[in-house]
Amino acid sequence: MDEEIYICPACGYTDGTSIVPEHCPQCLSSYHEVDEDDNACGGIFEPISIWIEETKRGRHKHIIQRCEFCGALQTSEITGYDNPVKLLSVAAKPIGNPPFPVERMEELTMLMGGQGSTEGYYEE
């Protein structure tokens, strides 16, 4: 067996298995392998905000990530394994200082299906 062990490209976290998580539970980053046009990117998706999705079945918490290289945006659902301290630090980023360019707001809104809010992480 020649299994490759997953190691987070951003912080070096590993749980010793080859299972690649949707995002690193330690630093909440992901690896951007290829972009929309199938070009290799190799950037790191950094967590920039938390998005609470309200659905009929309940609340889903997602991390909004932005690629540090190409600026692509994606969302990734938060799991029970994620580092709570890191989640709070991402959620607490000042709103007056948008971590993403304003011209990308439209793209972000589309990503959210035209609804939802990046605020209210502390609400229960």
User: Residue 21 or residue 120: which is nearer to Zn ion going by CB?
Assistant: 21
User: Residue 32 or residue 62: which is nearer to Zn ion going by CB?
Assistant: 32
Beta carbon of residue 81, minimum distance to Zn ion (angstroms, whole number): 12
Cβ-contact 42, 69 below 8 angstroms: yes
- Which one of 20, 34, 69, 105 is in contact with Zn ion (CB under 5 A)? 69
Interaction of residue 30 with Zn ion, rule CB under 5 A: no
Q: Cα–Cα distance between 122 and 15 in angstroms, integer? A: 29
Q: Cα–Cα distance between 66 and 43 in angstroms, integer? A: 10
- Which one of 34, 70, 105, 110 is in contact with Zn ion (CB under 5 A)? 70
Query: Which structure tokens are listed for 55?
Result: 């659905």
